[in-house]
Structure 1
Amino acid sequence: MLGVVITLAVIAAVAWCIFKNYYPPTVLLIAGLLFLAVAACFGVDPVPAKASTHFLGFDFAQAFTDRMKTRLPGLGLNIMWIAGFSYYMDKIGASKALVKLCVKPLSAIRSPYLLLAVTYIVGQFMALFINSAVGLGLLLMASIFPLLVALGVSKTSAAAVIGSTCCLDLGPSSSNAMRAADLLNTDVVTYFVQNQIPVALCVIAVVAIGHFFIQRWFDKKDGIETSGAGTQEDVAKAFEGAGPVWYSILPMLPLVLLIIFSPMVYQPVKLSLQTAIIISILVSFVVDLITTRGVKDSIGRTKAVYEGMGKVFTSTVALICCAELFAFGMTKVGGITTMINAAASMESAGVWVMLFIMIAIMVLATLVTGSGNAAFFAFSPLLPQAASSVGMSAAVLAVPVQLSAGIARTMCPIAGVTIAVSSIAGITPFQLVRRTIPVMVLALITNIAASAAFL
C-alpha cells in the first residue's frame, strides 16, 4: 500500500511540474530516478546484477542507459525515419497535394455540421499517412481550416474537429501500433488489419456523429453564428506550395509497400518499416527531380529528412525514453503491481477491472505528459503481465489501451497538437479541449465496447 501512496504522490508532483511548463523529459527523468532511489531504500536493485556497475549511484544512470539502448535502435529509429519522411513530404509539397485532393468533395456539402463530421473522417484517413498529430494539425489548420470557415463553420468547432483528427494512432507507420504489434508477437500490418480496423471503424463513426451534435450544441450554447468569415482567397492561399496532383500518391507509398509485402499479401519478400520509408524517399526524390528538373534544389530539399529526424528526437524520442524510465521506476516501487494484483484477485470481475485500470493509467499518463507515444511506450510493458494475470487475450487489453492513448491526448490542454491548433484558431487550449472532451469520452466508451465485441 505504501508503494501506491508514493506512486500517486510522485505522479501528482510530475503533473504539477508539467502544467507549470517545466520541460517534460527532464521532469520524467528526475521522477524516474526518484522512484529508483525509493525502491533502493526498500532493497530493490535499480538494474539486474548482470548489468550492474557495482556502484549503486552509477546503477541509477545505468537503468536509463539500458532504456536508451533498448529503444533507440528499433522503435526510436522508426519514429525518426517516419518524421523525416513527413518533413520531406511537406517540403516538396506532397502533403498539401494529398490534402488538396482529399478536401475537394467537402465544398459540395452545405450543412456546416455534416461538413465537420466528414472533415473528421477525411482527417483520420490522412492520419494513416501523416501520423504526427502536431504535423497533421498544422497542415489542416493551414489548408482545411480556412475552407471550413469559408463554408460556414464556426472557428471553434472547426478547430475542435481538426484537433481530434489524429485521435486514433492507426496503421503500420504508427509507432504505438508498432509497439503493440511487438507485444502481441505479430507484424504491424496484421495488427492493423485484424485488430485495429474493426475497433477503429466503430470509434470513427461515433466520433464523427459526436462532433455533429456536440459542436452544434456548443455553438448554440455559446451563441456563435456560423457566418462564413473566410474567403475563397483564404482557401487558395492555404494551398500555396502544393505539388502537382500526382504528388498526392507519394505520402501513401510506405503504407502501400508495407501492405503489399506483408504476410497477408505477399510473404516471400520481407520489408521493414525503415526500408519501406527509405525506398519511398528515394522514389519521391526521383519524382521531384523529374518534375522540377532542378538537380541542386531537389537534392537540397532532401535535407528536410534529416532535419525532421533530429527534431523528432528532441521532441518525441527523448520524451519516450525518459517516460520509460519513469514507468520503470514506478514498477520498482510496486504501486502499479499492487493495483494489477488487486484486479487479478477479483475472479470474473477482474477482467473488466484490469481493463479499466490499464486504460485509466494510460489516460492519466497521457494527460500528465501530453504525449500518447510517451505514455504508451512507458506502460505498454505491463500489458502482457496484466492480461495473463486475469486470463484474458493480450489483444483484448492491448488494442483498447493503445487506442486510448491517442484519444486521451486529444483531451489534454498541454498536448502539442492542442496548443498548435488553438493558437492558430485564436482560442485558448482549454476552450479547445472543452469541445473535444465530450466527444473523446464517447470514443473511449466505444473503444472499450468494440474491443470486447470484436477481439
Structure 2
Amino acid sequence: MIFQSNKTIKFEILFILWKEVIIVILMTISGILIVIGTIYCLIKRYETRLVLFCSGLLMTFIGGNPMGTMQAFSHAMLESKLFESIIAVMGFAMVMKLTECDKHLINLLIKPLRKAGTFLIPAAVLVTFFINISITSSAGCSAAVGAILIPLMIAAGIHPAIAGAAIYAGTYGAMFNPGYPQVALIVSVSDSNPVAVVANHFYPLLLCGVIGAMSLWVVAKIHHEDKGYKLQGEIVKQTEDFHVKLSHAIVPLVPIVILVLGSMNIVPIFKPLSISHAMIIGVFCAFLITRKNPQDISKEFWKGAGNSFGSVFGIIICALVFVNGLTSIGLIQQLIQTMINIPSVAKISSAIGPFLLGVMSGSGDAAAVAFNKAVTIHAADFGILPMSMGSVVAITGALGRTMSPVAGGMIICATLAGVSPMETAKRNAPGMIIATLAIMVIMLFIE
C-alpha cells in the first residue's frame, strides 16, 4: 500500500511537471508566432502603435495576466523624465523648421560640397550624419537634406539610387545628441547621464558613420555609379541664391553646446540645466536672432510637443505594453536565462536582434526600446556594461532601419531620387552590416 501510494505520488508529481513543461512550450510557441505576426504587420506598414499594443494585449491574455496591459500602459505614462526630454526636443525641432534655421545650417554645409567630385558621396553621408544631430528625426532629416542634396548629387553625375542612399545612410547621427530620446532611454536603464552615454559610444558611432560613407562610395565605384550619370534638364537651382546667415545656422546647435559645456563643467552655470531647459533656451535664441512672431514660435513649439506625444512617446508606450506581453508569456525570462547561461549569446543578440528587426520593420526605435527595457536592465548579469549594451541596441536598430526598404525616410529619399526604395536600400546594406559587426565587436567584446 505504501509502495503504491509513493508510486502514485511520484506519478502525480511527474504529471504536474510534464503539464508545466507542456504549458511553457505552448506559451513559448504562441509567443513566437505572435512576435512573427507582429513583425509581419510592421513590415506591411500597419499602424505601429496599434500592432504593438494589440500584440502585447494578446500575449498578456495567453499568459494569464489580462490586467498587465493596463498596468504597463499606466506605468509607461509616468515616464516623466523621458517624456520631458522628448517633447522639448520635438518642440525645438518644429521651431527650427518655422524659423528656417535648419535650412541655413543645411546650406552652410552643402555649398562646399560642390567641389567634392566623386567624394561627394561620402561627404554627403557625413554631412547628413552631422545634421542629424540637430534634426533628429530620420524622416525629417531625409526630407530636409535630401530635397537639396539629392538633386545636387544627381546633377553632378551620381546615380540617383546612390544619391538617395547617401542621404539615408547618415540618419543615425542623432545618437550624438544628448537630448535624443534613445539616449534618454539608455540613461534610464543604465543609471547614467546623457553626456556620459554619448561619450561612451562617441568613437564607435563615428566609426560607423565613416564605414557607412566609405562602403557606399566603394559600392558606387564598383558599379560605376559615382560619376557620368546623364540627366536631362537642370534640376538644381534652388540653393544658388540662398543667402546663408551664420547667426541662423548656429541656432540648431545651441542646445547641444549648452548640454556638453555644462556636463563637462566647462561653463558651470550650464551644469544645472536639463535637456528641456537647453531646448527652451535654443527657442529663445531662435526668436532673438530671427525675430519671428513669438506667437507663431509658441504655437509651433507646442505643436511639436503634442506631435511627439502621439508619435514618438506613443510608440514607446505601446512598445512597453508589448514588452509586458513578452514577459507575461515567458519569452523574456527564457531569453534572459539563456543569455545568463551563455554570455556570448547576449552580446551577439543585443546587436543582431535589433538590427534584424530594424531591417524588417523599418523602425529601429520600437525594437531598441523593447530590447533596452526588457533585456539591457539585466546587462550586469551577462557581464556587460548596461550603458554599452544600451548603445549597441539603439545604434544597431538604427543601422538596420537605415537599410530597410520599408523605412519612412528611405521611401522619402527614394522618391526624391526617382527610384524604388529597394534600389537605395540594397546599396546601403553592405555598409550597415559591416558597421553593425564593428560596433558589436568594439563595444561588447573589446571594451
User: Alignment partner for residue 213 of structure 1, among 218, 229, 254?
Assistant: 218
**Compared with structure 1, are the counterparts of its residues 229 and 87 closer, same or farther at alpha carbon in structure 2 (3 Å cutoff)?**
farther
**Cα deviations by residue, 1:298-339 (Å, 9 ceiling, x for unpaired):** 532442222222233322221221111111211221113212
1:284, 1:376 → 2: CA distance?
A: 32
Q: How does 1:58-137 map to 2 (within 5 A)?
A: 60-70=69-79, 73-111=80-118, 114-137=119-142
**Does the 8 Å CA contact 1:94/1:250 hold for their aligned counterparts?**
yes
**Does the 8 Å CA contact 1:411/1:436 hold for their aligned counterparts?**
yes
Larger-Rg structure: 2
2:315, 2:116 → 1: CA distance?
A: 41
1:385, 1:77 → 2: CA distance?
A: 22
**Does the 8 Å CA contact 1:38/1:333 hold for their aligned counterparts?**
yes
Stretch of structure 1 that moved more, 13-22 or 197-206:
13-22
1:240, 1:82 → 2: CA distance?
A: 31
Q: How does 1:292-441 map to 2 (within 5 A)?
A: 297=293, 299-346=295-342, 350=343, 352-441=344-433
**Does the 8 Å CA contact 2:189/2:377 hold for their aligned counterparts?**
no
- Displacement, 1:240? 7.5
2:409, 2:328 → 1: CA distance?
A: 32
State the match for 1:292 in structure 2. Answer: none
**Compared with structure 1, are the counterparts of its residues 385 and 311 closer, same or farther at alpha carbon in structure 2 (3 Å cutoff)?**
closer
Query: Match of 1:381, SS?
Result: helix
Say what the alpha-carbon RMSD is for the aligned residues: 2.4
User: Alignment partner for residue 191 of structure 2, among 175, 185, 188?
Assistant: 185
**Cα deviations by residue, 1:151-191 (Å, 9 ceiling, x for unpaired):** 22111101001012113422212211121123222210122
1:28, 1:133 → 2: CA distance?
A: 21
**Counterpart check, 1:226 vs 2:232:** no
The TM-score with structure 1 as length reference comes to 0.86
Which amino acid in structure 2 is aligned with residue 344 of structure 1?
I
Which amino acid in structure 1 is aligned with residue 247 of structure 2?
W
Q: Percent identity?
A: 23
**Compared with structure 1, are the counterparts of its residues 179 and 241 closer, same or farther at alpha carbon in structure 2 (3 Å cutoff)?**
farther
Query: Match of 1:411, SS?
Result: coil
**Counterpart check, 1:29 vs 2:43:** no
**Compared with structure 1, are the counterparts of its residues 137 and 323 closer, same or farther at alpha carbon in structure 2 (3 Å cutoff)?**
same
Query: Match of 1:235, SS?
Result: coil
**Does the 8 Å CA contact 2:168/2:402 hold for their aligned counterparts?**
yes
**Compared with structure 1, are the counterparts of its residues 367 and 327 closer, same or farther at alpha carbon in structure 2 (3 Å cutoff)?**
farther
- Displacement, 1:385? 4.3
**Cα deviations by residue, 1:395-438 (Å, 9 ceiling, x for unpaired):** 34222222111111112222221122222222222222111222
- Displacement, 1:207? 1.4
1:199, 1:254 → 2: CA distance?
A: 23
State the match for 1:38 in structure 2. Answer: 62
2:388, 2:46 → 1: CA distance?
A: 36
- Displacement, 1:229? 5.3
**Does the 8 Å CA contact 2:56/2:69 hold for their aligned counterparts?**
no
Which amino acid in structure 2 is aligned with residue 402 of structure 1?
A
State the match for 2:266 in structure 1. Answer: 265
1:230, 1:166 → 2: CA distance?
A: 29
State the match for 1:255 in structure 2. Answer: 256
Query: Match of 2:406, SS?
Result: coil
State the match for 1:274 in structure 2. Answer: 276
Stretch of structure 1 that moved more, 89-98 or 373-382:
373-382
**Counterpart check, 1:14 vs 2:38:** yes
The TM-score with structure 2 as length reference comes to 0.87
2:298, 2:85 → 1: CA distance?
A: 18
Which amino acid in structure 2 is aligned with residue 323 of structure 1?
A
**Compared with structure 1, are the counterparts of its residues 395 and 9 closer, same or farther at alpha carbon in structure 2 (3 Å cutoff)?**
same
User: Alignment partner for residue 448 of structure 1, among 436, 440, 444?
Assistant: 440
**Does the 8 Å CA contact 1:199/1:451 hold for their aligned counterparts?**
yes
Stretch of structure 1 that moved more, 86-95 or 29-38:
86-95
**Does the 8 Å CA contact 1:288/1:298 hold for their aligned counterparts?**
no
**Cα deviations by residue, 1:371-393 (Å, 9 ceiling, x for unpaired):** 22222222212344442222232
Query: Match of 1:16, SS?
Result: helix
State the match for 2:16 in structure 1. Answer: none
